[in-house]
Structure 1
Amino acid sequence: MVEEVALQPSRNPVAAIDCGTNTIKLLIGALPDVAVREMRIVRLGQDLDRTGRIADEALERSFAAIDEYAELVRAHDVPPERVRFVATSATRDAANAEAFVSGVRARLGVEPEVVTGAEEAALAFGGAVRNLRVPAPAPVLVVDIGGGSTELILGRSDPEQAHSMDIGSVRLHERHLASDPPTPDQVAACLADVDAHLDACPVDVAAAASVVGVAGTVTTVAAAVLDLPAYDREVLDQSVLAVADVHAAVDRLVAMTHDERRTLGFMHPGRADVIDAGALILSAVLRRARVETLVVSESDILDGIAWSIGR
Structure 2
Amino acid sequence: MSNSTRYTTIVLAGYMDVGEIKYLYFTILLLLYITIILANSLLIGVISVERTLHEPMYMFLCSLSVNELYGSAAFFPAILTHMLSKLHEVPIAHCYVQIFSLYTYASVELGNLAIMSYDRYTAICYPLLYSSIMTHTRVYTLIGLVWLISFAKFTINLLINLNLELCANVIEKVWCDNYLIVKLACSDTTVSNIYGTVGSIISILVPLLLIIYSYIQIWRACLTSSAESTQKAILTCTPHIASLLNFSFGCSFEMFSSRFNKVYMPPVLRVIISVYFVICPPLLNPIMYGIRLTKIKMAFKTKINHS
Does TM, normalized by the shorter one, top 0.5? Answer: no
Greater gyration radius? 2
Task: Give the number of the structure whose residues are more often strand, by fraction.
Answer: 1
Return the structure number with greater relative CO, CA threshold 8 A, min gap 6.
2
- TM-score, with structure 1 as normaliser: 0.28
The two structures have a TM-score, normalised by structure 2, of 0.28
